[in-house]
Amino acid sequence: MAWAEMEPLLIVATSIVALVAMVVWAKVHPLLAFVLVSAAAAFGLGMPAGEIPGAIRRGIGDILGALTIVIVAGAMLGKLVAESGAAQRIASALVASCGPTRMAWAMAGTGLIVGIPLFFGVGFVLLVPIIFAVIAGAGLPLVVVGLPALAAMSLAHGLLPPHPAPTGLVAQFGANMGLTLLYGLLVSLPAIVIGGPLFSRFLTRIEAKPLPGLIAEPKPDAELPGLTVSVVTALLPAVLLVFSGTATLVVPADSPWAGMVAFAADPDVVMVVSLIFAAVTLGLARGKSLAAVMHTYSTAILDVASILLVIAGSGAFKQVIVSTGVDDKIAVVLETLPLDPLILGWVVAAGIRVCVGSATIAGLTAASIIAPLLVGGDVEPNLMVLAIGAGSIFCSHVNDGAFWMFKEYFNVSIGDTLKSWTLMESIVSVVALGGVLLLDQLV
């Protein structure tokens, strides 16, 4: 390949290295790092200086316009599910139905059900103390029982809308959010089983002694919402997204109902409907004032503000790559590599994840690199979302905040954290990729 053809690709590669260095070593906020790297890349790729600010604004605006309602509404719903006691009700019911011998399975189910509306960081802080409280009297190894819940929550974070990275990938690849969620659930279930209850059986020698202050005081049963209401409210966005996404494939485009189906299938509509439903079932119907419910929703915005800024920055970087035409050159190079595109998406995301630590940054940055492969239409965009999502949770280690959250909350050594948390993340990532490749043969 001639130097003229190689130069743009080297500039993009250098930009990614610079992004990693700024975020990891210089501790620059990801939004600022993305903007600076995007501007530098635009100059290096020959974009006229006067067009660079507009391209960055366009990239930020396009991706935030597509995602803000979904991500913020998802955070609001998750906050209400946790604060209302619905998460505790779900966990308690699953533990009671499964018994001590199947408690790891109960925790895996809890992690998946609660992990769909709860963002990972929020879910960790709110759900893990509940897990400690629920299993306090069982006399079981805490890591063995608690890790399956985190495996499920991690997979939801990386693969399932309305979580930030998969939602952003859906927007960037033009995928169907309902189908992505349906496929993601199919891929996640075996990964949860293998990386959760089955893998955790080998961790019985790891002793976890959480600090007393990290064990939540359970609410009295009389203050908890009913189990049916809790489960239905927590899973309503997933059910509506899957149902409406499937309906768009069944209803013909020339049908008089096509417009209404498209409206109902829109992720923004689904999330707003779910929020209204939750405000009634977990708020007004339980004696809370509308002002109290809105206060819960308002505080949830603080949990996702930084995540939205990271996503915004990734949109700027993608726009520079597209506007300069480098995406076509990247596609030509990637198509010559002897790898399945889905595996390639996983490898790119996993590599960035190991370097940066953040699953969200890894997934969105990988999307900018892999997106050109989808232009020809040979790759199923819903499955590419999942492949990159699976790669984005691979091998969490010392540069990932979640690694330290696990270590401190479970009060275990760094070595035991690597043996349990890091290995679990790698297992669920690889198993999820296997599920994506299997689905690729079937759909």
pLDDT per residue as tens, the chain (443 positions) = 555 567 887 888 888 888 888 887 888 888 898 899 999 999 999 999 999 999 999 989 988 887 788 888 888 888 898 888 888 888 888 878 887 778 889 889 988 988 888 778 777 877 787 777 766 656 678 899 889 999 999 999 999 988 888 988 998 898 988 899 999 999 999 999 999 999 999 999 998 877 666 666 778 888 899 999 999 998 898 888 888 777 777 788 788 888 888 888 888 898 899 999 999 999 999 999 999 999 999 988 887 788 788 878 888 888 888 888 887 777 677 767 788 999 999 999 998 888 778 888 889 888 888 888 887 667 899 999 999 999 999 998 877 878 888 888 888 888 999 999 999 999 999 999 999 999 999 98
Give pLDDT, residue 213: 65
Give pLDDT, residue 276: 96
Tokens of 298: 């308002």
Query: Whose CA is closest to 68, among 272, 220, 280?
Result: 272
Q: Hey, where are the domains in the chain?
A: 3-442
Q: Helix (H, G, I), strand (E, B), or coil: what is residue 48?
A: coil
Tokens of 56: 């960055």
CA–CA dist 118, 178 (Å, integer): 18
Give pLDDT, residue 311: 79
CA–CA dist 440, 443 (Å, integer): 6
Query: Whose CA is closest to 197, among 437, 428, 426, 438?
Result: 428
CA angle 256, 260, 261 (to 5 degrees): 100
Give pLDDT, residue 212: 67
Quote the pTM value: 0.80
Q: For residue 222, which phi and psi values (nearest 5 degrees)?
A: -65, -20
| CA terminus-to-terminus distance, the chain | 36
Q: For residue 320, which phi and psi values (nearest 5 degrees)?
A: -65, -45
CA–CA dist 354, 396 (Å, integer): 7
